[in-house]
Amino acid sequence: METITIILFVLGYLLIALEHPIKINKTATALVTGVLCWTLFAFSTPAASFLESEHFVSFTKSLQSITGIGEAEIYQRFVKAELSHHLSQIASILFFLMGAMTIVELVDAHHGFRFITDRIKTVDIRKLLWIVCWVAFFLSAILDNLTTAIVMVSLSRKLVRDTEKRMFFAGMIIIAANAGGAWSPIGDVTTTMLWIGGQITSSAIIKTIFLPSVICLLVPLLYLSFKLKGNLESNGVNEDTSSGSPAAGKIMFFVGVGALISVPLFKTITHLPPYMGMLLGLGVLWVVSEFINPNMDESERQKYTAAGALSRIDIPSMLFFMGILLAVGALESMQTLHHFAIYLNDLIGDNRIIITLIGVVSAIVDNVPLVAASMGMYSLELYPVDDTIWKYLAYCAGTGGSILIIGSAAGVAVMGMEKIDFIWYLKKISFLAMIGYFGGALTYLLLSGAF
């Protein structure tokens, strides 16, 4: 049955990768795959090696005080306990993402990001490229790489009229957003997963991954600076004629960003899960939003409310994460990932190479299941909190997806916004992303003393 589950997981992943040709939404595939993996796990007959595993034996010992329970009943209780354990972890990630996405949506609804965009005045294309990329780099650490990519590409549309040059900007925004998200516990969903899962702490990830992430952006940025020349045709930043109040936008921007930044601090002080801090921040911003535009007509005011923001957040993406994490959780509980880790260790034997390859593969395969699988492959008992393997995984999984435009959520979003062709990105941007990725990886390994 374990073999059938693995085949089902691989088949589900292929269908996810072929979402557009087969015209089946990846969220539907992920949910079906996740539920079927647990169904097969529940109906399977456990192998002798599984019954003798430390995890199952430990669970069995906890039921010693209950008499009259057969082996089949123990196994079913084990499956239910494992499902509850993984569902608890998944829920914490989903509530965190829901809160973060709603906060960003509320700020954007009030045009709060104009506080940043309206301050960009240069017409020199190389100077503008540097400004846009570094704003995206730091903004993605506060928000997330997907949201940052959307905001900065929207800005580049107003600043750069030439289509070819704007596509280069879009490609560099993808690299900058992914690099910036890697060094922040709230900047990328995979880093968030490792932070919530207890593999890394916020202070350690910022301290050790910041410089490699800077190098990841700096190397391609320097290279491209010699390729782009000239000035912009016009600066149209202020062409936005939206009716939002500038004062309200500033208030929502500072309160929203403050709420996001305070999440790691809240966790450090209270030792409560990060999603509690995120939900607290959302609650505070929600209260503030209720006092803005109080005299506006109710139907017009709806888009500025938290309820309106909640209706606009990307629920399918959250359900996609849930389906994938359920499927990976089933493989972890079945000890499949543990056996795969042993196989990789025997085959390659060097975790530095394994994690580096995971980053490269994340350009093809979604980094969420890769990181989820890695969390199941390597135990916290063997690799404790803030071990080199976890921090290096955060960097590689966060930045490796930039190598191909389909390798990250930010890349897929930009691909849709700017209609960038896969082959164009492969020819023009992939090399830049790759030299940045390996430059940052080498920087991390040197600084961590892994060589």
For each of the chain's 451 residues, which pLDDT tens digit applies? 788 988 998 898 788 777 778 888 888 998 999 999 999 998 887 777 777 777 788 888 777 666 667 778 888 888 898 899 889 888 888 888 788 888 888 888 888 877 776 777 777 788 889 999 998 999 888 877 877 887 788 778 777 878 888 889 999 999 999 999 999 888 888 888 888 888 998 889 999 999 999 999 999 999 988 887 767 665 444 444 455 577 888 899 899 888 888 887 888 789 888 889 889 999 999 999 888 877 777 777 788 888 888 888 878 878 887 888 898 888 888 878 777 767 777 788 788 898 898 888 888 766 776 787 788 778 788 889 888 889 999 999 889 989 988 778 788 778 777 878 778 888 899 999 999 999 999 999 999 876 5
Of 432, 344, 353, 365, which is closest to residue 393 (Cα–Cα)?
A: 353
Considering the entire predicted model, what is its pTM? Answer: 0.73
**Which residues lie closer than 8 Å to 241 by C-beta, 6 or more apart?**
none
pLDDT at 238: 45
Rounded to whole angstroms, how far apart are CA atoms 129 and 106? 28
Q: Which amino acid, one-letter code, is at 442?
A: L
Q: Which amino acid, one-letter code, is at 66?
A: I
The residues pairing with 124 across neighbouring beta strands, listed in sequence order, are: 231
pLDDT at 236: 46
pLDDT at 239: 47
CB 429 within 8 A of CB 176: no
